[in-house]
Amino acid sequence: MYFVCIVADRPEQPLDAVLSACQQTFAFVTWSPGADNNAPITGFIVYYVTSHDSAAVGSNGPHVGARVGAADVSARVKLAPWTEYWFSVAAVNDVGISQRAEAAAEQPCKTESGPPTRSPKRVCTNSQRPDQLVIVWEVCHCHCQCPVMMMKLSGCLVRPLDHCIILWHTGPAASYIH
């Protein structure tokens, strides 16, 4: 009498991951499955990081762009305007998730400017003088089609960082952006 011991492990990372198409509102990522390591692959996860994410790894990403079944070897990921994207793919089985395979691309997937699909949060005024208009808002940090990249206010173009304060004076001193 003898016993056969089969050891299962999480799958190997997908092979040949490629950014196959980059459009204004979506991207396609393709790959080939890696070894399943004795536990059938149950699906794939497409991740992305963007030019808006913090430089510290993992602080704002990677974000899940798509989850697809085991038979799929490509995924469509929805994109936001005015953003650069880098993609990776991981395989999933009952044991765990593989290492991510970086999607090969000559350059990041870059979308052009466009209107945001959501408005900034907590917009309010905080004026303290009658000749001044101070507008304060919280910039959307999620990557769910809502990044607010610029706001135009009476001819003043602004790029907010974590928050934006616009001081608008009516005197000889034009406008101040902090």
Rounded Cα distance, 165 and 176, in Å: 9
Give the residue among 110, 87, 97, 106 at the shortest CA–CA distance from 30. 87
In a domain, 10, yes or no: no
Sign of the Cα torsion 117, 63, 140, 154 reads negative
Kindly state whether residues 162 and 79 are assigned to the same domain: no
In a domain, 38, yes or no: yes
Residues 126 and 96 in one domain: no
Any domain includes 138:
yes
Task: Let me know whether 93 and 142 are in one domain.
Answer: no
> Count of domains in the chain?
2
Does residue 116 sit within a domain?
no
Report the C-alpha gap between 156 and 71 in whole angstroms: 51
- Three-state SS at 93: strand
Instruction: Please indicate, yes or no, whether residues 19 and 104 belong to a single structural domain of this protein.
Output: yes
Structural domain span for residue 93: 15-110
Is the domain of 90 the same as that of 160? no
Q: In the structure encoding, which two tokens stand for residue 122, read together?
A: 């907590």
Spatial neighbors of 165 by CB under 8 A, at least 6 apart, are 126, 134, 135, 136, 177, 178
Domain boundary among 89, 110, 131: 110
Is 7 contained in some domain? no
- Whether 96 and 32 map to the same domain: the answer is yes
Write out the H or E segment, with its range, that includes residue 92. Answer: strand 84-93
19 and 106, same domain (yes or no): yes
Per residue of the chain (178 residues), give pLDDT as tens.
888 888 999 999 999 999 999 999 999 999 999 999 999 999 999 999 998 886 655 545 689 999 999 999 999 999 988 899 999 999 999 999 999 999 998 899 999 987 766 677 778 877 777 777 777 777 655 444 444 444 444 444 444 444 444 444 444 444 444 4
Q: What pTM does this model have? A: 0.68
Residues 32, 94 within the same domain: yes
Q: Is 169 left (phi over 0), alpha (psi -120 to 50) or beta?
A: beta
Q: Are residues 67 and 23 in the same domain?
A: yes
**9 within a domain of the structure (yes/no):** no
Same domain, 95 and 168: no
Let me know if residue 5 belongs to a domain.
Answer: no
State how far the alpha carbon of 68 is from the alpha carbons of 29, 50, 53, 54, 105, in Å.
12, 21, 24, 27, 21
